[in-house]
Amino acid sequence: MIFKKESIEKRIVATFIGYTLFIVALLWVLQILFLNNYYYIMKRASVMSAGKSIALNLNSDNFSDTLEKLCFHNGMCCVILDEQWNEVYSVDMLGRGCEIHSPSRFSLKDNLSAVMSGERNEQTIRIKNPHFRNDSIVCARAVTNAQGERLMIVMNAHLFPVESSKDILKSQLKLITTLLIIIALCISKFVASRLSRPIRNITQKAKRLANGDYIADYDGGGIMEIDELAETLNFSAEGLSKVEELRRELMANVSHDLKTPLTMIKAYSEMIRDITGDNKEQRNEQLEVIISEADRLTALVTDLIRISREESEIGVINSRSFDIKSMIKDITERFSATNEQYNIIFEAECSDKAYADSDRIGQVLYNLISNAINYTGEDKTVKVKLFKASEKMMRIEITDSGKGIAPEELPMIWERYYRSKNTHQRPIVGSGLGLSIVKSALTAQQLPFGVQSEQGKGSCFWFELPVSNKIEMR
């Protein structure tokens, strides 16, 4: 179904007015159109119930009094006949208006013989009385008295004209209709403005988001759902402003990190071309610098590529059983070959296979070991340890002897683009993306991880993997 776009206010007002009109229409139909029928049904019910009471009291001592009272209260006349159509009791409340006491107008024998003969238990007849210009109702009911005689109670009540009542009701309903519409208009306007004001405010402020204004001051006006929306927007604005700040920092860092090696590569290349080209020793030294600066660039670009790949692969996990020990061995050997001056020690106390996404675990190891090499201390030592943490889990710890991380920085280092202010100095090249790659790879697989760091002593980054055979047995 396609709805035309309408404001909340318009919709609420229209709904309220529609509902009010429906109620009013219902009142008109019930009160005016069906008043005659409704009155007849009610009258018949009250005469029938009087008939029941008469039958119940038939054998009581003061039956005549009870009968008179019932007739008086229900505005009816009544006659009780035996099987020979003789009157046993009679109350003529309505005088000349009573049909059942005027045999010329209403013949009991003609109309009620079915009840008297026992064919029916009760019978109701609506009769027109041209004499009095109003209808009346005759109800008959068969009963048996204490002596076992069959009797018939016949009651007659007038159906008074309801036209005058209708007029009163009509004027009342007109007033009620006007009042209800005014009240509905006021209430709907009030509710609509209470609902739409905070939404309008939020919309106006949200437009600022698009222009890069990340102030988190959205207010839901105390309405639960809109409050939730406001909170979500506040949260998003805060997140966006953080990302924006980190992005700006990254841009500054990355451009610096890109520019420095490029400048050096250019300078050394020119030097080789113009000055040292023929001096083999000097030329080789300078070529070494060019190669290591190119390596820096490669590392930086690799990180950037990895993080964007990570983003496009969110949620895709390919867990399998793999040999974690030989994976760590391969990676540490590769690092040792390219970092000859570093001492990368691998201690394995467990030979079980692990069960996880091996590609992502490879990324995690690569990043943690590369960080440890970058940040380790004077002894240039990095330790990688693999051991059983529990029956079902194995733990990998990567320990360095560097400066460590300040406690207030610990929660931030996992965030994308975060780089410690103290560490951003050459020769440590980095993008601030390594640990965020680690975090997203481990979180996606719901694996525990963390860091313990002591300033001046070093850091120990760790994570745990499920032992393969234990998982497969589950």
Q: Which residues bind ligand ADP (CB under 6 A)?
A: 371-372, 375, 400, 402, 405, 413, 418-420, 423, 430-436, 459
Task: Name the minimum Å distance from CB 389 to ligand ADP.
Answer: 20
User: Nearest to residue 429, comparing CAs of 289, 261, 288?
Assistant: 261
| Residue closer to ligand ADP (CB basis): 181 or 412 | 412
Q: Write the CB contacts of 331 (distance below 8 Å, at least 6 apart in sequence).
A: 362, 365, 366, 369
| Residue closer to ligand ADP (CB basis): 140 or 405 | 405
| Residue closer to ligand ADP (CB basis): 339 or 420 | 420
Q: Write the CB contacts of 120 (distance below 8 Å, at least 6 apart in sequence).
A: 114, 142
Task: Name the minimum Å distance from CB 221 to ligand ADP.
Answer: 41
Task: Name the minimum Å distance from CB 261 to ligand ADP.
Answer: 15
Task: Name the minimum Å distance from CB 435 to ligand ADP.
Answer: 3
CA pair distance 94, 75, nearest whole angstrom:
8
The torsion angles phi and psi of 5, rounded to 5 degrees, stand at: -70, 125
Residue of closest CB approach to ligand ADP: 430
Do 142 and 58 contact (CB within 8 A), yes or no? Answer: no
CB atoms under 10 Å from CB of 67, counted, come to 22
Task: Name the minimum Å distance from CB 416 to ligand ADP.
Answer: 8
| Residue closer to ligand ADP (CB basis): 67 or 369 | 369
| Residue closer to ligand ADP (CB basis): 234 or 420 | 420
User: Nearest to residue 300, comparing CAs of 247, 370, 377?
Assistant: 370
Query: Concatenated DSSP letters for 99-159?
Result: STT-TTT--HHHHHHHHHTTS-SEEEEEEEETTTTEEEEEEEEEEE-TT--EEEEEEEEEE
| Residue closer to ligand ADP (CB basis): 184 or 413 | 413
Q: Is the dihedral of CA 388, 440, 249, 338 positive or negative?
A: positive
| Residue closer to ligand ADP (CB basis): 97 or 434 | 434
Task: Name the minimum Å distance from CB 437 to ligand ADP.
Answer: 8
Task: Name the minimum Å distance from CB 338 to ligand ADP.
Answer: 17
| Residue closer to ligand ADP (CB basis): 51 or 402 | 402
Task: Name the minimum Å distance from CB 236 to ligand ADP.
Answer: 23
CA pair distance 218, 207, nearest whole angstrom:
12
Amino acid at 387: F
| Residue closer to ligand ADP (CB basis): 50 or 331 | 331
Task: Name the minimum Å distance from CB 253 to ligand ADP.
Answer: 8
| Residue closer to ligand ADP (CB basis): 94 or 433 | 433
Do 412 and 241 contact (CB within 8 A), yes or no? Answer: no
The torsion angles phi and psi of 84, rounded to 5 degrees, stand at: -95, 15
Q: Is the dihedral of CA 57, 62, 64, 70 positive or negative?
A: negative
DSSP annotation of 428 reads -
Which residue in the block uniquely carries the two structure tokens 């109670």? 153
Strand-by-strand arrangement of the 87-91 sheet = 87-91, 76-81, 150-159, 134-144, 122-129
Do 464 and 397 contact (CB within 8 A), yes or no? Answer: no
Query: Concatenated DSSP letters for 374-393?
Result: HH--TT-EEEEEEEESSSSE
| Residue closer to ligand ADP (CB basis): 114 or 406 | 406
Task: Name the minimum Å distance from CB 314 to ligand ADP.
Answer: 18
Rg (CA), the chain: 49
Task: Name the minimum Å distance from CB 255 to ligand ADP.
Answer: 15
